[in-house]
Amino acid sequence: MKLKFWQKDKGAAPKIKKTKSREWFDAIVFAVIAATIIRVFFIEAYTIPTGSMEKSLLIGDFLFVSKVNYGARIPMTPVAFPFAHHTMPITGTKAYWDGVQWKYRRLPGIQEIKRNDVVVFNFPDGDTVALEAQDRDYYEMVRSAGWQAVHSQYTVTSRPVDKRENYIKRCIGISGDVMSMSNGLVSINGKAEPMKNTGQIDYTVKFKSSDVNFSVFEEMGFIIERDIMAVSQDTYNFIGTPEMMDRVKKLDFVASVTTRTAKPGEAEPSIFPQDPNRKWNADNWGPIQIPKKGWTVKLDSATMPLYKRAIEVYEGNKLEKVAGGWMINGVKTDSYTFKMNYFWMMGDNRHNSLDSRYWGFVPEDHIVGKALFIWMSYSTEGSFFNKIRWSRIFRGIH
């Protein structure tokens, strides 16, 4: 017997039409999954909350950061609430569950991190946090106030690598580089690297008289009472880029322009590696060799202050001081071979930046991505429409 091809199969179940609420639910689930995949593996939006990268990046800039350039990092804490970093926006509770932790893995990237790249990374000192003072470095708080005072006053917790605060700085040194700084000038592998025109530092400017028309400086891009502060009647402290200060030097009413930096040998206790035997400050430090994967360092009293945290915390080894040397994971040794690459990050606003000068190396497993371009920028000053910095929209980051 022949069956007609159009004859309905009487055994087939009737198709159930989705309700409107079910359609909305499915659409939301799909959107969340798609957005999460894009954020984790391709591109993510960030904002600039502080002035540590001025003049290149301003407070109120919104950036797109590429995960593809250096290779997307596989989530190390996979169980987390979508679109929240480490804290739920309303309840203030943790936005992740650290009961499941995956080891560090990264997809292949299209480039290696280069010097002068603007990089987003997880704050290396953010493994321990005082919740009521999250904008402060826990370790610096302990050094200044003591462990007991901090733990009695604040709620202290730990965070996995990928749930630590996101920072953005410029990569000044890559793995294997030997870094130093003298009178505010960075040297890499023995070669002085003058600050680029995106960077700024403090200068002392002396005028020939106290009668100065400061509107000239506003036209150059300085902000009065922020970038220019009075020291005396004819002397002012300027914060500017080398290019801006070259223009100031050429003004006929300017007597002199000098870089204002700390003196060599004036110890600043908060400077990495917080070693009393090293009389370093933010403008004068080094030399420091940045660890590189496969590099072996000799363990002694000179190197351990520099590399102890990297060996113990970042690379997860049990480190013990014993008579005549060190033990790593129960084995006595006088050397260590690094398993990861490290980087040296600094802000462009050199005298207003918490960076590697204070907490040292950034391990490769903390790297989030490369800053690509500004998609929106607004100022806190002016009318609503004038707050938008139109000239910065879709501006590339260099």
pLDDT one digit per residue (tens) for the chain, 398 residues: 444 444 555 555 666 677 888 888 888 888 888 888 988 899 999 888 887 887 778 888 889 999 999 999 999 999 998 888 999 888 888 999 999 999 999 999 999 999 999 999 999 999 999 999 988 999 999 999 999 999 999 999 999 999 999 999 999 999 999 999 999 999 999 999 988 777 899 999 999 998 888 889 998 989 888 899 999 989 999 999 999 999 999 999 999 999 999 999 999 999 999 999 999 999 999 999 999 999 999 999 999 999 999 999 999 999 999 988 899 999 999 999 999 999 999 999 999 999 999 999 999 999 999 999 989 888 876 655 668 888 888 888 87
Provide the pLDDT for residue 13.
Answer: 60
Give the strand order in the sheet containing 331-333: 319-322, 325-328, 331-333
Provide the pLDDT for residue 6.
Answer: 47
Provide the pLDDT for residue 11.
Answer: 56
3-state DSSP of 63-122: EEEECCCCCCECCCCCCECCCCCCECCCCCCECECCCCCCCCCECCCCCCCCCCCEEEEE
Question: Residue 271 carries which side chain, given as an amino acid letter?
Answer: I
Question: Candidates 1.10.20.10, 1.10.3720.10, 3.40.30.10, 2.10.109.10; correct CATH number of 33-180+267-291+346-396?
Answer: 2.10.109.10
Rounded to whole angstroms, the Cα distance separating 280 from 265 reads: 6
Task: Name the H helices within the chain.
Answer: 20-41, 138-145, 147-153, 215-220, 242-249, 304-309, 356-359
Provide the pLDDT for residue 15.
Answer: 65
Please, what's the b/e burial string for 116-136 (b: 16 or more CB within 10 A of its CB; e: otherwise)?
Answer: ebbbbbbbbbbbbbbeeeeee
pLDDT in tens, 352-387: 999 999 999 999 999 999 999 989 888 876 655 668
Provide the pLDDT for residue 30.
Answer: 87
Which tokens sit at 155?
A: 């709620």
Find the angle CA(73)-CA(86)-CA(52) to the nearest 5 degrees: 80
Q: Which fold has domain 201-259?
A: Alpha-Beta Plaits (3.30.70)
Task: Name the H helices within 155-303.
Answer: 215-220, 242-249
CA neighbours within 13 Å on the CB side: how many for 175? 15
pLDDT in tens, 25-67: 888 888 888 888 988 899 999 888 887 887 778 888 889 999 9
DSSP-based three-state secondary structure for 257: strand
Find the angle CA(282)-CA(227)-CA(258) to the nearest 5 degrees: 60
The secondary element (H helix, E strand) that includes residue 239 is strand 235-240
Rounded to whole angstroms, the Cα distance separating 179 from 191 reads: 9
The full set of domain ranges for the chain reads: 33-180+267-291+346-396, 201-259, 296-337
User: Are 33-180+267-291+346-396 and 201-259 in the same CATH fold?
Assistant: no
Cα torsion angle, 261, 266, 270, 274, sign: positive
Rounded to whole angstroms, the Cα distance separating 152 from 390 reads: 48
Contact between 355 and 47 under an 8 Å Cβ cutoff? The reply is: no
Region at 145 (left for phi over 0; alpha for psi -120 to 50; beta for the rest):
alpha
Contact between 205 and 250 under an 8 Å Cβ cutoff? The reply is: no
Provide the pLDDT for residue 5.
Answer: 42
